[in-house]
Structure 1
């Protein structure tokens, strides 16, 4: 039995050697993919955090608020303020046209008399409050004139991402709120008279502090490499479904499988031979991906993949992920009748499993229905296990549920494949 198994493995290796181009694609394609995607995502991150984005500012106010908004935008380090185009001051019409044509991502239009009207409104409110305490003349309070609310207009390029829009709107809203608050404090200070020290402390009382996990007193800061290496490693591993299923269909159409079984070689031995061979391919893919993350990425200006003390657990996750992928490929190859069925369906199904598994879009950002659907994707199980090891410093016990699910998926798919083949031959 062992001899038949080894001969089956040897046969698979010979088949792979004959398809050298396909073998190169299995190893080179994932490496090109992971380098390209990580560089794009890392450069996008740097664009947001390091490179200044030019934005148009239309200042119709010419007052203190416009000056404060411009100073705060400059101090953020994320924006380059543009107030003139072709030596002409930017108007709202010019700004709107430039943004809607995609030349700029954002234009901020500050309305006329914003500073003066805000100060008048604050004065009215302060006088009204003080009059209730008998500190102001009620006649003055009665002369309050209605001041219409002002709007700071934001024009966004229609192609701008929603996350960028929300971030900018939140930042500007916070900025305006702080300006209003300071104006109220300053007006109260003036109305109550000069003092040696400020009556109101204007420092923020509530602040935010991010608490991140630490290992050996070092903060664990997730980066693009820690997310992309496991995600695209899984994608590469599961892509063996395509050549594996094609291989099985070829054997059926060429009569190779019939000759093997008449030797006799049980179909289960044939399956084990394919499993062992393609599992080696999956592990080589994984180790190549890790090597790229550790040794090549630093030369490309990317963060290094930290695997110290984690490689064994990561290899365990890759091993069982490979088993799950191989089981799916065996089932597909057994059920499919032609290569035209197995190849497109295999590639499409892998893309779908990657999509709902969180490889491209984080599961938490998906609609509720898709979040529930993600639980049936073996890629999601493998990805969670990788994240537990890399980002959460998880132990074998913590990734055991995902490993069991991956193993059960392999056993279920191979059992169905063997049962289907046996039933088909009995007919």
Structure 2
């Protein structure tokens, strides 16, 4: 009957129930589409890059050719049919019209070759290969060169680092080729052809599930994260209903019955656990069946649905315990609703739902370990991305259940103390 009572309370608030189920679905679609679109934008469409070439030599030509061949960048060397100067490029980038500009200094190619010739000549002479009777030319003083990079202040640090590493790799290849060529010229080895293909290459090894490579995508990251966010948002209606029962006298009438408060809370726990699981299955169904029609990868839950359901259930229990404690302590709906919503957002923020925990400062990484959303998220990742078993989930499930027990116990003790006073 306690469960049925909770069902009647929810039934009388159809708008709240619809919001409880509909808003998470809209949220997961919008967020996943945005993140997936961003990923595709970086990989499928090219970012315009301003290139100011004061060198007009082999180095600048190689940089230009490599940028043009890239799947990420397109090179812009003129604006309104006028060659770009450093001043124009700087102004355009700092105003946000372009994401970045590259300024190649004058005489970069000739000075680089001159520096390499000097270094090679010293090495060859030290090895005794140079003509001892030849008059050594006076070494020309070559200043260090700077390739200037201008970035839109709004771009992320990871984008800057990626671009700088890419350009540094291009110039390193040019230097290496020039060194090989100069050595071959000095030693008279005939063929000076140079293979630019790297001898060492990198290969990513990903987990295999059912003899298939499991390559992570935006859906596998977003569905667990925002499912947890939706599950924990039941804190708001649960705490509001508890406050309503207190302010409307319903709770006092319940206490006059020969039944303990534990039974009343058990009814709420069962009813809201069912709601959490319904939310979970709706979002999974959305990710499996609707996402492919939106141009998103379908979520692969093959062989993982039972484990994911267990994680969702224990996450729901943690959310119910927190909502019960909040509703027991709060005296008005104005206290429970804003605090509940804000606390869920904070738990999501520090739990890794928005920003990966590894990208946080060290102190925040420690704090993140105390968020029940982090425990649930890690458990979901263990199932979907790390091919974990039930035994791998035990630590996170234990923490979620312990959180539920502690918060529910505190709610019962607080209520008992308040009634005793």
- With structure 2 as the length reference, what TM-score do the two structures score? 0.97
Could you say if the C-alpha distance between residues 199 and 165 of structure 1 is closer, same or farther in structure 2, counting changes exceeding 3 Å? closer
Check conservation: 2:321, 2:404, Cα contact below 8 A: yes
Per-residue Cα deviation, 1:277-315 (whole angstroms, up to 9, x for no partner): 111110000000000100010000000000011101100
Moved over 3 A (4+): 137-142, 197-203
Check conservation: 1:127, 1:141, Cα contact below 8 A: no
Measure, in 1, the Cα distance between the counterparts of 2:280 and 2:260. Answer: 31
SS in 2 for 1:304: coil
Deviation at 1:133, TM superposition (A): 2.3
Could you say if the C-alpha distance between residues 228 and 420 of structure 1 is closer, same or farther in structure 2, counting changes exceeding 3 Å? same
The equivalent residue for 1:345 is: 339
The equivalent residue for 1:119 is: 113
The equivalent residue for 1:159 is: 154
The equivalent residue for 1:172 is: 167
Deviation at 1:194, TM superposition (A): 4.4
Per-residue Cα deviation, 1:212-236 (whole angstroms, up to 9, x for no partner): 1112331110000000000000000
Measure, in 1, the Cα distance between the counterparts of 2:195 and 2:240. Answer: 73
- Unaligned stretches of 5+ in structure 2? none
Check conservation: 2:185, 2:192, Cα contact below 8 A: no
Are 2:96 and 1:96 equivalent residues in the alignment?
no
Measure, in 2, the Cα distance between the counterparts of 1:137 and 1:96. Answer: 49
Measure, in 2, the Cα distance between the counterparts of 1:113 and 1:219. Answer: 49
Aligned ranges for residues 361-376 of structure 1 at < 5 Å?
361-376=355-370
Aligned ranges for residues 413-424 of structure 1 at < 5 Å?
413-424=407-418
Measure, in 1, the Cα distance between the counterparts of 2:94 and 2:197. Answer: 39
The equivalent residue for 2:67 is: 73
1:208 to 202, 207, 210: 202
Deviation at 1:207, TM superposition (A): 2.4
Per-residue Cα deviation, 1:36-64 (whole angstroms, up to 9, x for no partner): 00000000001111110011011111111
Are 2:31 and 1:37 equivalent residues in the alignment?
yes
- Unaligned stretches of 5+ in structure 1? 1-6
Per-residue Cα deviation, 1:359-409 (whole angstroms, up to 9, x for no partner): 111111111111111111111111111001111111111101111111111
Deviation at 1:135, TM superposition (A): 2.5
Measure, in 1, the Cα distance between the counterparts of 2:366 and 2:79. Answer: 50
Are 2:227 and 1:233 equivalent residues in the alignment?
yes
Measure, in 2, the Cα distance between the counterparts of 1:277 and 1:194. Answer: 83
Check conservation: 1:27, 1:285, Cα contact below 8 A: yes
Per-residue Cα deviation, 1:105-153 (whole angstroms, up to 9, x for no partner): 0100111111111111111111111112233356654610111111111
Are 2:171 and 1:183 equivalent residues in the alignment?
no
2:318 to 324, 336, 340: 324
Superposed CA RMSD in Å reads 1.4
Measure, in 2, the Cα distance between the counterparts of 1:128 and 1:326. Answer: 75
Could you say if the C-alpha distance between residues 315 and 372 of structure 1 is closer, same or farther in structure 2, counting changes exceeding 3 Å? same
Are 2:296 and 1:306 equivalent residues in the alignment?
no
- With structure 1 as the length reference, what TM-score do the two structures score? 0.96
Deviation at 1:266, TM superposition (A): 1.5
SS in 1 for 2:75: strand
